[in-house]
């Protein structure tokens, strides 16, 4: 890691271990310094964010997760003014207009379709 370059702090919340692995591998191929935190589901996401010394630069949320969906996480996060500046990307296999619209209505900054 080069101390002269900023490190981009990324959090990925995804219940699929393979998707987490692919995401991590893809990041490692980029020519930027990153710190990646992987979470398996959204149940403890809000607590994780509340207890973080610094908010991540971007949060990637899988849309379809057990226990707590990406939209439910998004709604919880956007209820708190503390997270107003947090950039949130929904990262999903879904491409339905309803899913995409719901995420933007509830405060997502971008919607990214997972590659096959």
Q: DSSP states of the chain as a string?
A: --TTSPPEEEEEE-S-HHHHHHHHHHHHTSSS-EEEEEES-STTHHHHHHH-SS--SEEEEESS-SSS-HHHHHHHHHT-GGGTT-EEEEEES---HHHHHHHHHTT-SEEEEPP-
Mean predicted confidence (pLDDT) in 79-88: 94
Is the pLDDT at 32 greater than 90? The verdict is no
Number of Cβ within a 10 Å radius of residue 60? 22
Name the one residue in this structure whose structure tokens are 């509340």.
Answer: 50
Q: What is the mean pLDDT of residues 57-80?
A: 94
Burial of 90 (0-12, 13-18, 19+ CB in 10 A): buried
CA–CA gap between residue 58 and residue 109 (Å, rounded) = 10
pLDDT confidence of residue 114: 87
């Amino acid at each position: 890691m080069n101390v002269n370059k900023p490190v981009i702090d990324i959090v990925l919340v995804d219940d699929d271990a393979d998707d987490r692995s692919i995401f991590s591998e893809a990041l490692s191929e980029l020519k930027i310094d990153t710190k990646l935190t992987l979470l398996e589901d959204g149940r403890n996401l809000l607590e994780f964010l509340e207890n973080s010394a610094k908010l991540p630069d971007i949060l990637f949320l899988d849309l379809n997760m057990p226990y707590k969906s990406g939209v439910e996480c998004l709604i919880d996060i956007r209820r708190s003014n503390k997270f107003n500046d947090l950039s949130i990307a929904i990262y999903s296999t879904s491409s339905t207009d309803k899913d995409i619209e719901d995420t933007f209505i509830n405060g997502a900054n971008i919607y990214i379709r997972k590659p096959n």
